[in-house]
Amino acid sequence: MTSTDTSPKHADTVAKGLSPWQLALRRLARNKAATFSIYLLLAIIIVCIVGPAISPWELDAVDWDHIGAAPDLVSKHYFGTDANGRDLFVRTLQGGRISLMVGLLATAVSFIIGIAYGAIAGYAGGKTDALMMRFVDILYALPFMFFVILLTVYFGRSIWLIFIAIGAVEWLTMARIVRGQALSIKQRSFVEAAKVTGASHSAIIKRHIIPNTLGPVIVYATLTVPQVILFESFLSFLGLGVQEPMTSWGVLIAEGAAQMESAPWMLLFPAAFLAVTLFCLNFIGDGLRDALDPKDR
């Protein structure tokens, strides 16, 4: 794309400035690995959304003629079928929807809670900070698996439970990162300057503390998404995750791993999707880190 917004510059006018965010985006656009990853990830997301619609097969429809069949274009089982005769193409993409949704939503939830909690704790400092962070430490100390098993025993298996369980754990690290940032940012003189111009505490947190913590936090968030996807896969692998006939990449990989020797495609396709997605997210995270902190290259 060519930029169309470059108006002619006169010697006595000041070019409209770019915000630090826009500058970071430009630097990100120059990072080839990150840009490629963004497009690839977008492609995966689009395929996961529209893919199941173009296949004639349903998520839970059993094709009695092709049970455990290898990939085949004629029967329109592009990725083959699983041990129960269900189409793997549809199931992989459906599983992708769940995995990506869990990854993005749980990260978004932990992002919002973590930023709010961490910024308040760091800005308040002193006893409030100590109290809030000890609470985080206590939650940290809870054994995660035990927590999830307890939840599933009480409420049964459901996708929402996974959101809650993962969200409840992931925001803790986010809160710690933001709190550390807030502690250092509140020493900078623009926060003092805001104080002496009579800005209220909430205005200072919203306008000055949080935007300045966002850089490292966004990087951490992009690296949290793959972590959450892996978490979900792990839970599903153990049988604590999504429920049949719904599926996720973790479930498919678990099933595929069991048939690895006789029907490798059952493992190969979901595993490839998962691996490529994780790679993309990691590259994007790295690219963002470089773009947001140009001094650190």
CA–CA dist 104, 185 (Å, integer): 28
CA–CA dist 190, 131 (Å, integer): 27
User: Which one, 84 or 200, has the nearer CB to other proteins?
Assistant: 200
For residue 283, the surrounding DSSP H or E stretch is helix 265-292
Residues 16-35 that bind other proteins (CB under 8 A): 16-21
**Stretch near other proteins under the rule CB under 8 A, chosen from 143-151, 176-184, 208-216, 244-252:** 208-216
Instruction: Please tell me whether residue 189 binds other proteins under the rule CB under 8 A.
Output: yes
- Cα-to-chain-centroid distance, residue 276: 14
Instruction: Please tell me whether residue 200 binds other proteins under the rule CB under 8 A.
Output: yes
Instruction: Please tell me whether residue 13 binds other proteins under the rule CB under 8 A.
Output: yes
Residue 210, classed as helix, strand or coil, is: helix
Nearest 10 degrees: Cα torsion 59, 64, 70, 73: -70
CA–CA dist 280, 39 (Å, integer): 9
**Stretch near other proteins under the rule CB under 8 A, chosen from 14-22, 31-39, 99-107, 237-245:** 14-22
**Stretch near other proteins under the rule CB under 8 A, chosen from 55-63, 105-113, 173-181, 191-199:** 191-199
Residue 266, classed as helix, strand or coil, is: helix
The only residue of 203, 238, 257, 260 in contact with other proteins, by rule CB under 8 A: 203
User: Which one, 120 or 246, has the nearer CB to other proteins?
Assistant: 120
Residues that bind other proteins (CB under 8 A): 12-14, 16-21, 125-126, 188-190, 192-201, 203, 207-208, 211-212
